[in-house]
């Protein structure tokens, strides 16, 4: 217990110090600033280790004790997605529900296969012969855009509301779908395609996705009824917290998608109708502030962790080259995967100009992709795909995240 408390204390302390440096001096969006400062800090620790490796070993010890995949996917993600969904414009999302649904399902599947095929041939060209199924697995883990990264940066980018609803809505739902696609391909890669029936794939997909959404609807409705029957902001805040924690445990027990359940519950509790009938003004203010604080705290810790994950990477020339080549490939595959749905819906829903370009550049990758890459086994080329994923995520947050606001202003002129 003392070890866990010490690690959490160190992470919160680093988050506070790096956050202060960013706000006081760099003045970058928190997501970008924290990751940049943590990477620079880790590089400084590497440089210092040539003279004294005490600090390097201490940082390595912290990272080795943290199961990043479990911490993010099984714990933090539920809180972050509920908070994100709670503050999402439900009316705009309702208008954009069909494109969001297609982006988060068909878009993910198309991107998974395009990235998998492209990376298979690119890796062969640079002298890395990797089985196609493992390249497909990489396509699945890198295709979902990260709602945690997207939400924080879009708030400051000045993206038009109807476009923001598409990007945020897609990001909130596509990580849940993406995780299910990844787990399905992971099972095929582990057991071999001859041991997996097509019906099993549809059953797993249906159970995780539909089951997760249904659980979210039930949780959202129960939370709404409980909050409507009382008027006590302290207890109502605790009810929302209990819904997230209890819902996450229940989803894992029933083998349903906890991310999709939390997104659905958050959208229900956060929509204007529920707010107007179940929450007093003071309750609404306390619920919003509480979840905003949870969101900021976990976001801060998450991006400090991502920066520190450099220490577990097996860097090599070919791996870094593969990562650099993967960046344009993934952007092109995302652009292609969005092409058909956008052309289909743009006349009916009055899309803003250059929607595909903004959604491609604004579709950031983050902690979810790294967590999934960390879950790969050695035989699935874990070290290679972890380095590629890290390069893509760092480029995504630092380069795309810093320039998406400028791109929006340029194409909106």
Tell me, yes or no, whether 112 and 49 share the same domain: no
CA distance 277 to 157: 32
Tell me, yes or no, whether 105 and 40 share the same domain: no
Tell me, yes or no, whether 134 and 245 share the same domain: yes
How many helices (H) and strands (E) the chain has is answered by: 20, 0
103 closest CA partner among 368, 339, 365: 339
Note whether 45 and 56 are within 8 A (CB).
yes
pTM: 0.91
CA distance 154 to 404: 8
Its domain, for residue 49, covers: 2-65
User: DSSP readout, 40-64?
Assistant: HHHHHHHHHTTT--HHHHHHHHHHH
User: DSSP readout, 290-304?
Assistant: HHHHHHHHHHHHHHH
The domain total for the chain is 2
> What pLDDT is stored for residue 195 in this prediction?
65
> What pLDDT is stored for residue 84 in this prediction?
87
Last residue of one domain, picked from the residues 20, 50, 65: 65
Note whether 266 and 175 are within 8 A (CB).
no
Tell me, yes or no, whether 43 and 157 share the same domain: no
> What pLDDT is stored for residue 206 in this prediction?
80
Tell me, yes or no, whether 221 and 183 share the same domain: yes
Note whether 224 and 146 are within 8 A (CB).
no
Q: Which SS3 state, helix, strand or coil, does residue 216 take?
A: helix
Return the CATH number at 198. Answer: 1.20.1530.20
Q: Could you give phi then psi for residue 352, rounded to 5 degrees?
A: -70, 155
Note whether 236 and 230 are within 8 A (CB).
yes
HSE toward the beta carbon, residue 329, CA cutoff 13 A: 27
- Classify residue 255 as left (phi > 0), alpha (psi -120 to 50) or beta: left
Tell me, yes or no, whether 337 and 228 share the same domain: yes
HSE toward the beta carbon, residue 7, CA cutoff 13 A: 16
- Model confidence over 53-71: pLDDT tens digits? 888 988 888 888 888 888 8
Average pLDDT of the chain, as a whole number = 89
> What pLDDT is stored for residue 188 in this prediction?
86
CA distance 354 to 359: 9
> What pLDDT is stored for residue 328 in this prediction?
97
Last residue of one domain, picked from the residues 30, 65, 100: 65
pLDDT tens for each residue of the chain, 413 residues long: 467 888 889 999 999 999 999 999 999 888 889 999 999 999 999 899 899 888 898 888 888 888 888 888 888 989 988 998 998 877 778 888 888 889 999 999 999 999 999 999 999 999 999 999 999 999 999 999 987 677 667 766 767 777 878 888 888 888 888 888 898 888 888 877 666 667 777 777 788 889 999 999 999 999 999 999 999 999 999 999 999 999 999 999 998 999 999 999 999 999 888 898 999 999 999 999 999 899 889 888 989 999 998 888 888 899 999 999 999 999 999 999 999 899 888 777 777 788 899 899 988 898 889 989 988 989 999 999 999 999 999 999 999 988 888 888 887 65
Q: Which two tokens stand for residue 383?
A: 């070290």
Tell me, yes or no, whether 174 and 290 share the same domain: yes
Last residue of one domain, picked from the residues 65, 87, 110: 65
Torsion angle of C-alpha atoms 113, 116, 118, 122, degrees rounded to 10:
-170
82 closest CA partner among 265, 258, 251: 265
Tell me, yes or no, whether 159 and 43 share the same domain: no
Note whether 326 and 391 are within 8 A (CB).
yes
Note whether 19 and 30 are within 8 A (CB).
yes
Tell me, yes or no, whether 371 and 325 share the same domain: yes
Q: Given CA atoms 182, 78, 335, 201 in this order, what sign does their dihedral have?
A: positive
Strand (E) or helix (H) holding 399: none
CA distance 244 to 79: 7
Tell me, yes or no, whether 129 and 59 share the same domain: no
Tell me, yes or no, whether 185 and 39 share the same domain: no
Tell me, yes or no, whether 48 and 77 share the same domain: no
């Amino acid at each position: 217990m003392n070890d866990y408390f010490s690690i959490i204390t160190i992470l919160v302390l680093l988050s506070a110090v790096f956050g202060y440096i960013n706000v006081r001096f760099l003045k970058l969006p928190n997501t970008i600033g924290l990751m940049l400062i943590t990477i620079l800090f880790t590089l400084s620790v590497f440089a210092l280790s040539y003279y004294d490796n005490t600090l390097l070993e201490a940082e390595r010890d912290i990272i080795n004790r943290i199961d990043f995949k479990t911490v993010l996917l099984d714990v933090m993600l539920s809180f972050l997605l509920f908070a994100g969904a709670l503050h999402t414009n439900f009316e705009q999302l309702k208008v954009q529900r069909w494109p969001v649904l297609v982006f988060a399902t068909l878009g993910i599947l198309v991107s998974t296969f395009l990235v998998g095929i492209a990376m298979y041939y690119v890796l062969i060209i640079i002298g890395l012969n990797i089985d196609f199924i493992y390249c497909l697995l990489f396509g699945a883990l890198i295709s979902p855009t990260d709602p945690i990264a997207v939400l924080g940066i879009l708030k400051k980018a000045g993206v038009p509301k109807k476009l923001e609803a598409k990007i945020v809505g897609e990001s909130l739902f596509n990580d849940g779908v993406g995780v299910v696609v990844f787990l399905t391909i992971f099972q095929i890669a582990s057991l071999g395609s001859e041991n997996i029936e097509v019906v099993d794939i549809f059953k797993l997909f249906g159970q995780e996705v539909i089951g997760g959404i249904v659980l979210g609807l039930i949780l959202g409705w129960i939370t709404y009824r409980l909050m409507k029957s009382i008027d006590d902001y302290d207890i109502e805040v605790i009810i929302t917290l209990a819904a997230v924690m209890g819902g996450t445990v229940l989803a894992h027990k029933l083998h349903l998608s906890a991310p999709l359940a939390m997104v659905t519950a958050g959208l229900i509790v956060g929509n204007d109708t529920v707010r107007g009938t179940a929450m007093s003004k003071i309750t609404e203010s306390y619920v919003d502030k509480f979840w905003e604080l949870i969101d900021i705290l976990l976001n801060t810790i998450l991006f400090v962790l991502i920066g520190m994950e450099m220490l577990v990477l097996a860097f090599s020339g070919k791996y870094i080259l593969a990562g650099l080549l993967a960046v344009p490939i993934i952007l092109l595959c995302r652009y292609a995967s969005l092409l058909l749905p956008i052309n289909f819906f743009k006349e009916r829903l009055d899309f803003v100009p250059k929607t595909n370009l903004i959604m491609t550049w604004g579709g950031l990758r983050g902690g979810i992709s790294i967590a999934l890459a960390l879950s790969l086994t050695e035989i699935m080329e874990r070290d290679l795909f972890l380095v590629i994923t890290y390069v893509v995520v760092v480029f995504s947050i630092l380069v795309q995240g810093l320039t998406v606001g400028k791109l929006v202003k340029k194409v909106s002129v």
